[in-house]
Structure 1
Amino acid sequence: MDEEVEKITCKDVSEKGEDGAVDDPSLRKRTAIVHRSISSDPTPQAGIAEDNQEPGDVGSPPETKEGDDGGQLLELSRLIWEEWKKSSWWDKHGADWAIIGLAMCSVPAGFLCLGSGSLFLFVLGILILGLANSAITVKGSHLASHRSLCQSSQLGRIWATFFIEVCSWIPVPCGEKGHVKQHHGHTNVIGLGDSSVWKAPFLSCAVYMFLAPLALPVVTLFVGLRYMSQMAVPRALCSLACISVGLWGHCWLLAQISGLGAGSAIVCVFLSRSVMAIPFIHVNIFQHIGLPMFSPTQRPRRLILMAHSVLNLPRNLILDWTFGHSLISCHVEHHLFPMLSDHMCLKVKPTVSGFLRTHNLPYQEDTYLSRLQLFLRDYNELMVQTPPITQLAELR
């Protein structure tokens, strides 16, 4: 059911009439799944089993009961789609493309600084490339994995290949399986999407929080290569070719523009990619770990699950630019509507926060410093020991 709710996204606006009625059979089918799942009294496993169902066209959905979770989610969805319909292309995609484009335009300046011979300019060049790289590989790849960069599905797949494989060195199926299907589909559900991929219990707090992230570019490359060994040979070869082009192209540009040798170019590539690695790890653990965790057999409905298990950080100029609003100050909005772009998440933020508070649901927010202090104080409990399971059976 969770995946079907996610499919009722901004692209479906064009499939609705002016009065909001569902006209398209595929949309009607998806909407009916949501209504059917919330109008029944399923067993704990039923909500999970419905994720993979492909029922036929069952006609117009029945009315939902006032106050139940599915009805509230559909009500919120209608508000968001109304906002989407009256938004311009700039709001939907343009603002994010402007940031990614600006990052790409700053790359040559970083290359020139590296070749200047001045230590100050060398450090400045690494910083410029580090910030640009984060905007391209984190923000760009994240939006591409959710097909939020454009409304064309075919063009979306091309952008996913470019940003995820060529720029980020991860096979597209690897990124989409771990992030889109598991993490988004089963947020904070233990064993499915509980962010345990970010845990390294064999590392001490200081090493994990401030040293280990610097190795993230190397780890990312090896994770991608390992995942390719499990893929079908033709698809693995395509991914390997794209990743090789990305890595070789980065080193070649450094050699040509900055005048660096092969060894120095490789070092600069990985050094620049580690500039934002520490806050990247922090953001990924701050916004989910330490919040309620759920058993796969006693998970609440989607709206309640996201309200309790996702947290927003305050706006920050550098993090907003390099990681995107959906990973920083609009993470709740992103988890509820993952196909919205970063700028659209920011635009609908007042609607979502107001709706959750009106319906007496938590809208979780905390500061970066506060979360950092929490993890430094309770690192062993949060990152080493098994997290406690919060049962919200009465809200299910």
Structure 2
Amino acid sequence: MAAKQGKADVQRVLVDLKTLPDISVLKDNVQAIVDRSSWWEVYGVDWVVVGVALLSLPCALLLLAQFAVLPFVLGMFIYGCIHAVLSTKAGHSAAHGAVVRSPKWNKFWSHVFVELIGSFSANLGYSIHVIGHHTHTNIIGLGDSSMWKAPFLPRYVYMFVAPLLVPALTPLFALFQFRELGFRKAFASLLVITAGLAINFSLLMHVSGFTLLGAVLVTFSSRAFLAIPYIHVNIFQHIGLTMFSQDSKPKRIYQMSTGVLNLPRNLVLDWCFGHSIISCHVEHHLFPKLSDNMCLKVKPVVRQFLLQHGLPYNEKTYWDRLKLFINKYEDLMVHAPPITHFIGIQ
């Protein structure tokens, strides 16, 4: 049996580890849904969101050229949303191989969305997120989301001020991590990231009329519009849930059902970050190669399967998680997380 302990906000259920359901049954059910789905459902819907973002770019650039406050602020918001759709939603899906069927084209789009637009190394992102976080979800020291912690910061500074610096720090963080890639990959990533920023600055200078300094400030300021919810979402969906030690990793279905949480659907965040990051994060961790739209489509099947077999299906509102992290900031973000204790695990 496995019992969850500690102060974390998790569903307190008792699960018989010897009678865990076979995840292959759920895989077959999900695959059947995918097989019945059209290209439009599997990939097309998400490409439309990307297309709408790209078509909104001229509007954002023209609004940013205005001197009036409201049009300028609206332009900043739209510009920030466009960047989030392309770098976060599309970049995240491409990193998982979920934007097209071809592995080679997925890799290509990953470099476009993550590096050229997102100003971060696609190879580093794959290593940190896909190989590290997904493989070792909530395993202490491997995939426990500790990279999002900054225990030296006071709670309100971390929750509402520090995230605003993330867009400017992202390319710098990539630079410091380049040693892990080797010279060739690091140099290629640096070229693509530099080209992406240069294109971005050029658009703002030649279309919106900014100076180079103004283009730089507008770029990172617009990206900061969604930086606070971006950080919140990344900590809300794993930290404070069940954690495991490296020598007591459970079966995958138990690990994902207890260590991952869904937030409610939200129009802005769904579009900018994607369903797999917001309301279908459980489904995404169980089936990371599914597109955002397919995660949404299989969600009822996954939820029913987990609950029918006595496994938790974690769902909390954004407000609930925000209150928890503010009230228990020291426990969740400063101190080491509690580890689930196993009794009689095979």
Q: Same fold (TM over 0.5)?
A: yes
Equivalent residue number for residue 348 of structure 1: 298
> Partners of 1:137 and 1:386 in 2: how far apart?
31
Q: Which amino acid aligns with 1:309?
A: G
Kept in 2: contact 1:69–1:301 (CA 8 A): no
1:145 to 95, 103, 110: 95
Q: TM-score, normalised by structure 2?
A: 0.93
Determine helix, strand or coil for the equivalent of 2:43. helix
Q: TM-score, normalised by structure 1?
A: 0.82
1:314 to 246, 250, 264: 264
1:335 to 263, 285, 293: 285
Alignment pair present for 1:95 and 2:41: no
Equivalent residue number for residue 77 of structure 2: 127
CA shift, 1:225, in A, is 1.1
Equivalent residue number for residue 105 of structure 1: 55
Q: Which amino acid aligns with 1:376?
A: I
> Partners of 1:71 and 1:352 in 2: how far apart?
12
Residues 83 and 217 of structure 1, relative CA distance in 2, 3 Å threshold: same
Residue identity over aligned pairs, in percent, reads: 46
Cα displacement string for residues 152-186 of structure 1 (whole angstroms, at most 9, x for unaligned residues): 01111110110111011111121011100111001
> Partners of 2:117 and 2:237 in 1: how far apart?
25
Equivalent residue number for residue 324 of structure 1: 274
> Partners of 1:144 and 1:182 in 2: how far apart?
16
Residues 359 and 71 of structure 1, relative CA distance in 2, 3 Å threshold: closer
Q: Which amino acid aligns with 2:221?
A: L
The runs of 5 or more residues in structure 1 that have no matched partner are: 1-66
> Partners of 2:182 and 2:205 in 1: how far apart?
34
Kept in 2: contact 1:187–1:306 (CA 8 A): yes
> Partners of 2:326 and 2:97 in 1: how far apart?
35
Equivalent residue number for residue 11 of structure 2: none
Cα displacement string for residues 41-82 of structure 1 (whole angstroms, at most 9, x for unaligned residues): xxxxxxxxxxxxxxxxxxxxxxxxxx9678610000000000
> Partners of 2:294 and 2:257 in 1: how far apart?
19
Kept in 1: contact 2:124–2:181 (CA 8 A): no
Equivalent residue number for residue 8 of structure 2: none
Alignment pair present for 1:214 and 2:164: yes
The runs of 5 or more residues in structure 2 that have no matched partner are: 1-16
Cα displacement string for residues 197-234 of structure 1 (whole angstroms, at most 9, x for unaligned residues): 00000000000000000000111111111122442222
Residues 392 and 104 of structure 1, relative CA distance in 2, 3 Å threshold: farther
The alignment yields a C-alpha RMSD, in angstroms, of 1.3
| Larger Rg, first or second structure (1 or 2) | 1
Determine helix, strand or coil for the equivalent of 2:341. coil
Determine helix, strand or coil for the equivalent of 1:296. coil
> Partners of 2:211 and 2:129 in 1: how far apart?
36
1:363 to 313, 317, 322: 313
Equivalent residue number for residue 7 of structure 2: none
How many residues matched? Answer: 330
> Partners of 1:365 and 1:394 in 2: how far apart?
28
